[in-house]
A and B are shown apart, each in its own frame.
Chain A
């Protein structure tokens, strides 16, 4: 029983990782908390659904979802944040602006879906259950775990092993110095937002398939969990977000299994609150929580 829960928790962790990596990547590079990230995640699920509903194969829906979410994320950066970064008001303004973007995206999705809960047609994903050592694993779970691992590895390769990754890290360290080195920061930002959105979109499709329930507010809880994860991992830290996703997915799966369900989110957010107080810079983050200058 416990082993089964741990297995389920691992799958959940993979989805959280996909969602939070982009969330934290964007914060790391621009110090902007993109609150439209949940809506971008939801858009991924919707695009996949409508592709399948229109008769397309699931793999096509998955690819279209990734591309559409990535592009939407780039659009959010250009429309919501680019001007704010010039005026230097991105911390406060970025939150306001991205709340606005999330609102617009999810309201459009609400109208497109007529406020309905959308469900993939039966057998969109083959229902196959594997049993071994007394554990049950569905093919979908294997696919989710596999997709999460592949995408995380691709991201890790991009960030730590390529010229693009070096540019991202250079801009993260110091935008001005990076410009002097001939890096076009706006291009790097667009690429980063594309990756962040694409990962979130992929997570959206996986969650949509797993629960077979897609609606315009499905991003909200993930945005909240995403907060908790990237704070726990340290805002902007990629390994931190991975580790925190694992912790978070496990804890959530186990608390849902063993505690009264009504209290799960209370516990999660109370935990987030505690983390903010005890280790505001997270498990692996270096950043201090704001400018606590001097003796107060």
Chain B
């Protein structure tokens, strides 16, 4: 019995790490920023943490703090040019950002190990640590979205002119969303570094972008339940049957097309909307 549980532990660890990255993607979309930079920010955090441990021999806590701060710093710097762009242009700029980080990473061989990656990172993070941080991130997102900042994010996402007319500073809130996104990506990138022994530059490229984006699209972009559920579904699904695992990327691809076309709010949010409508229906009194 314990053997069976232990067998699924690596999967659970992956879930916890990717949940943090999914929240990083979620929070910018929630604030109406079409940024896809999470993969690069996670890479920055992971490599910072890794270099702190391997090259500098620092304590993992310092490494995680450094990873979080560099992720956050990079995101805030990125948010300055992105504030001048919208929609498709933001998406392209952040994809370019991922490419810049990736090729700089490969080029700075002496620091990052280049294409060979960063190896021999002491493994200091286990399931319990991951669980604590993932729970913390979930709480942060939950607290955020039920307060004034969450309301401001919603207003900006749905209608910038309305948000501004009510005194909401768009630039300030989107910078805040970026800072949180970068901090989460940097932190969970750092956790990945201390959990995995080794880092590979291509681990933080287009592939991770698609994976993290898929979690949020499938789960939903409007409540904390979205990333929680979306990440779980996409990590568990390939484990259910071998053919699913072998065709993981095809499944992700088909899922993206089907969900965005037929269930654009995602599984969790569609369900929550249905639940609220049902409750209102019971109360009676249609508008």
Chain A in direct contact with chain B (Cβ < 8 angstroms):
yes
A interface, CB within 8 angstroms of B = 31, 33, 79-80, 83-84, 87, 89, 91-93, 95-97, 99-104, 107-108, 220, 224, 227-228, 231, 235, 260, 262-263, 265-266, 269-270, 272-273, 276-277, 280, 289-294, 296
Given A265-B103, A272-B92, 18 extra CB contacts under 8 A: A31-B88, A84-B260, A87-B264, A91-B87, A91-B88, A93-B264, A96-B217, A99-B253, A99-B256, A100-B257, A107-B253, A227-B92, A260-B107, A265-B100, A266-B100, A277-B84, A293-B160, A296-B83
Contact of B253 among A33, A104, A276, A291 (CB under 8 A): A104
- Chain A positions within 8 Å of B81 at CB level: 273, 276-277
Residues of A within 8 A of B255 (CB): 100
Tell me whether chain A's interface is mostly helix, strand or loop, or mixed.
Answer: helix
Complex: how many Å from CA A274 to CA B104? 17
The smallest C-beta distance from B248 to any residue of chain A, in angstroms, reads: 9
Closest to A95 in B: B91
Q: Which of B88, B106, B247, B261 contacts A83 (CB 8 A)?
A: B261
* B89 near A289: Cβ-Cβ < 8 Å: yes
Chain A residues positioned under 8 Å from B161 (CB to CB): 293-294
- Give A193 to B11 CA distance when docked, in angstroms: 41
Contact A101 B257 (CB under 8 A): yes
Q: A276–B93 contact, CB under 8 A?
A: yes
Contact (Cβ within 8 A) B260 A96:
yes
B93 to chain A, nearest CB (A): 5
Q: How far is the CA of A163 from the CA of B171 in the complex (A)?
A: 46
Q: Which residue of A lies closest to B94 (CB)?
A: A273
CA–CA, A80 and B99, complex, Å? 26
Interface pair B92/A104, CB less than 8 Å apart: no
**A217 CA / B100 CA spacing, docked (Å):** 18
Chain B residues whose CB sits within 8 angstroms of the CB of A292 once the complex forms: 84, 86
Interface size on B, as a range, is 35 or more
**Contact between B213 and A290, CB atoms less than 8 A apart:** no
Given contacts A93-B260, A100-B257, contact A280 B250 (CB under 8 A): no
Docked CA distance A273–B250 (Å): 31
A290 touches B170 (CB 8 A): no
Pair A280/B253 contact, Cβ less than 8 Å: no
Query: Do A270 and B213 touch (CB < 8 A)?
Result: no
- CB-based contact A107/B96 at 8 Å: no
The smallest beta-carbon distance between B36 and chain A, in angstroms, is 9
Q: B256 and A273: CB pair below 8 A?
A: no
> A289, B86: Cβ atoms under 8 Å?
yes
Binding site for A on B (CB under 8 A): 34, 81, 83-93, 95-97, 99-100, 103-104, 106-107, 160-161, 164, 170-171, 206, 210, 213, 217, 247, 249-250, 252-257, 260-262, 264
Within 8 Å by CB of A107, from B90, B92, B95, B247, lies: B247
Least CB distance, A158 to chain B, in whole angstroms:
26
Known contacts being A83-B261, A290-B87, A292-B84, is A263 close to B253, with CB within 8 Å?
no
Cα distance A270–B85 in the bound complex, in angstroms: 16
What is the minimal beta-carbon distance from B86 to any residue of chain A, in angstroms?
2
Complex CA distance for A31 and B87, rounded to whole angstroms: 11
Q: 28 A–B contact pairs at CB < 8 A?
A: A33-B92, A80-B257, A80-B261, A83-B262, A95-B34, A95-B91, A96-B217, A96-B256, A99-B213, A100-B253, A100-B256, A100-B257, A103-B252, A107-B249, A224-B96, A224-B99, A263-B107, A265-B103, A266-B100, A269-B96, A269-B99, A276-B81, A276-B92, A277-B81, A277-B85, A290-B89, A291-B86, A296-B170
Contact flag A266-B103 (CB < 8 Å), given A97-B260, A280-B85? yes
Q: Which residues of B contact A270 (CB under 8 A)?
A: 100
When distances are taken between beta carbons in the complex, the residues of chain B under 8 Å from A263 are 103, 107
Residues in A with CB closer than 8 Å to B99 are: 224, 265, 269
Residues on A with beta carbons closer than 8 Å to the beta carbon of B106: 262
Decide if A269 touches B100 in the complex (CB within 8 Å): yes
**Minimum Cβ distance to chain B for residue A275 (Å):** 10
Pairwise interchain contact A290-B86, C-beta atoms closer than 8 A: yes
Residues in A with CB closer than 8 Å to B261 are 80, 83-84, 93, 97
* CA A118 to CA B260, docked complex, whole Å: 34
Min CB distance B159 to A, Å, is 10
Chain A residues within an 8 Å CB radius of B83: 296
CA distance A33 to B161 in the complex (A): 25
CA gap between A292 and B85 in the complex, in Å: 8
**A80 — nearest CB in chain B belongs to which residue?**
B257
- From A31, A96, A289, B85 is in contact (CB under 8 Å) with A289
